[in-house]
Amino acid sequence: MSSDRQRSAPAQGRQKSSTPGTDAKRAQILSTAERLFHAQGYAHTTMEQIVRELGVTKPYVYYYFRNKQEIFETLSWAPTVECFTSMDFADGDPRPAHEKVMAGLERLIRATIAGYPAAFFPYREPQVYRPEYMAAQKRIANHFYERLCSLLEQGRAEGSFDFDDTRVTAQAACSLPGFLYNWYRPDGRMPPEAMVQQLTRLAGRVLGLRAPLGKPSD
């Protein structure tokens, strides 16, 4: 899968080109909509509310986004790409497989937490997305799991991991950030970075990590 396809966001209203000014306006729309979607849910958030919160006109918003669905999917797509490309490493990366796995899982967990709350929208309201969006999400998720499973099997062959079924183990490890939407709050008792490190260590236990490991790095 090409990186261009992975990073292709949904179509964007009538806007033809991007400038620093238009990027800032789009970001403001997305930030306002994200807050409303998080507080009220997709069904109970309207374009009228988004427009009113922004203090602008409807044509202003429709210039950048065709409809509420496009805003919601655009918000969801950025953290989706960030999460599901976390196992992408340079061809010449010399690290052993187990270090890449742990570095990638740390990036996945950090991207999930950093993407709050939009990163959690697909878990909270999966029924909202168009089939085309879900197909794109499935492609990039498959890309992620192919890379992760390959690295896991390589690491097991090298004696760095102890597990049975590769796919089950991969999904179990990734369920740690996957279920954050049920309980995570940025203002909780554990700071975000401490949460990243805690969940990364737990993921290592799920994988049966045997090899000594320092702090994973990109």
pLDDT, tens digit, 9 for 90 and up, residues 7-48: 555 555 666 567 778 889 999 999 999 999 999 999 999 999
The predicted pLDDT at position 213 comes to: 62
Q: Any idea where the domains of the chain sit in the sequence?
A: 15-65, 75-206
Low-confidence stretches of the chain (pLDDT < 70) are 1-17, 213-218
Q: Which residue has the tokens 């033809």?
A: 16
Decide yes or no: CATH 1.10.357.10 for domain 75-206: yes
Q: Is the pTM of this model over 0.85?
A: yes
- Surface-to-core class of residue 119, CB atoms within 10 Å of its CB (0-12 exposed, 13-18 middle, 19+ buried): buried
Distance CA 102, CA 148 (A): 10
How many beta carbons lie within 10 A of that of residue 71, not counting itself? Answer: 28
CATH topology of domain 15-65: Arc Repressor Mutant, subunit A (1.10.10)
- DSSP secondary structure letter of residue 67: S
The predicted pLDDT at position 1 comes to: 43
